[in-house]
Structure 1
Amino acid sequence: MNSEKTPPVHTPHFKIIRQAIVDRGHAWWGSEISVADGVDLEQLESACTEALRHIHPPRKTPKAVSPATSHTLLRMGQSALMNEDILKAIIQAAQALEYHKHPFTLSLDNPLDALPGPVERRAMVRQLYKLKDHSGITLAYNNYRLDTKPADLLVDLELYDYIKMPFPDSALRLSLNTRSDLFDRLYDHMLELISACRVCFIADQVEFADSAMLAKNLPFEYFQGGYYSPADCL
């Protein structure tokens, strides 16, 4: 009789989630796939590989049926871009979607202070431009906030096609509702970025009706959050 114990199977401690994104008329625009919660460096490649597994071209439909173009966003931390295998897999996924005329956006958590020094920052900028060299890839800047300054950015916002702004927490929501000057400043600032950088704003983490109403009064093009659609665990 074999008395050897079977080694325990280590299951990954991450979840892949998908959430819809809608336009100003609440029509489906696309969806974002992301890894829930943080992952350590040991799990990074397997987490990104699993997320990419859920990104694939749409099934063929009869020519008489012409479904609206669906935009696919993949959200990940910037450290993943320093892994050449992950970078190659992202480019391949984008090319497959581009072949079927379905846009692909890499949605990046891209904080400057997460990179320890100038060498790492220059390397990350090179990776970002390498991605932009592929026509099938657009970039979204995640977690842009009211207090985000140019000095906080790794690279100018002109490199990005979308800006995702968490909108908003309860304190900010109260301030925007009670202080018209703050609302006006935010509105004007967003218009300046739209004009200067040719970006579209996505309101992220919209969970409540009053948040949705407030976001609708600002120049957001697209909206994401539990108010519109709950996140699905894949």
Structure 2
Amino acid sequence: MSGKDGFNFSLLIARIANVKDYLSQRQKPIGLVLLGLIIISGGIWGALNYKKNPEIKIVEKTDQHQETVSQDENQTSNKIIVDVSGAVKNPDVYSLDENSRIQDALDQAGGLSEEADLDLISKNINFAEKIFDGQKIYFTKKSADNSQNPNQESFSQTETAPSKISLNKASYEQLDSLPGIGEKRAKAIIDNRPYQALEDLITRKIIPSSVFEKIKEQIIL
């Protein structure tokens, strides 16, 4: 059949029928192709999500690690270092908790040794006093003369030894009279009481070593 302009409708209908048959025959392969595309898309989506999850876990572990490091730093910062020397069994530098007392430092050093001057220590050291970082704690030893003949030493000191100035008890005027001290350093000595050792004047940077050498024979705790 032909139209007025010579177009063949019969041929068009035949071609449409051929296309329909072709699509009908190819319907199953096309379905398989679509199914394959869906599976591949699902696999890609799953792989992308799998990569994201480990990153989240790593961040969590990093946070936990930072928290642990922070706790360790806090624990470290709560420690102080002190130097325990003199009449103790194990003189050394020790690490203690920041709220420790002189008694705790003495326990770490094994307690007092046999050469400890118990009378002088009991009078001048407060075992309940808190210690601070960098502190030097000195426990006085018996002098050689005193350990051999205590009575003779006591008599000798009473008769001939000049009176010494106490760092913990002396007045402002007494401290000011010491060579190299003066008004400013006398006030600093009073402000930094009490002292456990004469050397505290140096370790606490109250006076220089040169001045300490001048007055060390004239002072006591």
Q: TM-score, normalised by structure 1?
A: 0.23
Q: 1 or 2, which has the higher strand percentage?
A: 1
Q: TM-score, normalised by structure 2?
A: 0.23
Q: Which has the larger radius of gyration?
A: 2
| More RCO (CA 8 Å, sep 6+) | 1
